[in-house]
Amino acid sequence: MTRRVALIEANPLLLWALVHLLGAENGVRVVSALRGPSGLAQILERERPHLVVLDPGLDALARIRLIPALLKRDPTLAVLLFARQRDLVHLSHAARVGARGCVLKSDSPGRIVDAVRAVLRGERWVGQPEGGGGDAFTRRAPVSHDLVAVQPLSAREMEVFRLIGDGLAPRHIALSLGLSVSTVEVHRQQIRRKLKLENSARLTRFAVAWSRDGRELASPDGDTRR
């Protein structure tokens, strides 16, 4: 049986590479290759893909709204994240709202194909298929402890956290997200409480450390786990 796959990847070169990589696989047919979620609803209706491969760097996905919308349209749809290392901070949210797994953009072509085939078989995937020793989607060894550290954050808090890490002041975060400055301050307080950070300076250092290098997230108590 041929499995239909839709791709959403903002980088045109990576999108082209994915199309050719998966298009060469027996039993896999790429039915759509988009650089953003616009037009995806029509693709779902017309092509009925079995799998959507998503770039989690997209704004819609960063707000964790796209995955539930996809699964509401088709509860049988499989969703696989095609991520950079720094995007792994979204795994806990993405898993809770229905994504089946994550494969890194830096992985070899063979591993990317393995991930696609595993998810199409109904397995979960982050580096290895589910059943290879625990729940692989919630356990990525290089960053697992740091994912636990930020796991309590809501989707909106995660957006605010990322923008703090990008160096934005509260008023600029408010403009970026369409919120009031007072609402942003409330989110900052909630993030500090959940991450057990005693002041705004510690919050900023933690967020900036993550933003600078997602592979070496700083822990809330100031350590850096490698």
Dig out the tokens for 188 from the structure: 């900052």
HSE-up of residue 20 (Cα within 13 Å, Cβ side): 7
Q: What CA–CA distance (Å, rounded) separates 22 from 26?
A: 9
Comparing 216 with 125, the larger pLDDT belongs to 125
3 state SS of 28:
strand
* Distance between first and last Cα of the chain: 43
pLDDT (average), residues 82-99: 71
Give percent of the chain with pLDDT exceeding 90. 37
Q: What CA–CA distance (Å, rounded) separates 39 from 37?
A: 6
pLDDT at 103 over 70: yes
Residue 63's identity, in one-letter code, is: R
202: left (phi over 0), alpha (psi -120 to 50) or beta: alpha
Q: Which class does domain 3-139 fall in?
A: alpha beta
Q: Which residues pair with 8 in a beta bridge?
A: 34, 54
Asked if residues 149 and 131 have their Cβ atoms less than 8 Å apart, the reply is: no
Residue 64's identity, in one-letter code, is: I
Q: What CA–CA distance (Å, rounded) separates 31 from 43?
A: 8
pLDDT at 115 over 60: yes
Architecture of domain 144-212: Orthogonal Bundle (1.10)
Comparing 86 with 193, the larger pLDDT belongs to 193
Q: What letter does residue 143 receive in the DSSP assignment?
A: G
Residue 21 CB coordination number (10 Å): 16
Kindly calculate the radius of gyration of the chain based on its CA atoms and give it in whole angstroms: 18
The CATH 3.40.50.2300 portion of the chain extends over 3-139
Which pLDDT does position 212 carry in this prediction? 57
**Tokens 């509401």 appear where?**
72
Task: Write out the DSSP string of 51-108.
Answer: EEEE-TTSHHHHTT-HHHHHHHH-TT-EEEEEE-GGGGGGHHHHHHTT--EEEETTS-
Asked if residues 95 and 138 have their Cβ atoms less than 8 Å apart, the reply is: yes
pLDDT (average), residues 50-76: 76
pLDDT tens readout for residues 54-64: 987 765 454 45
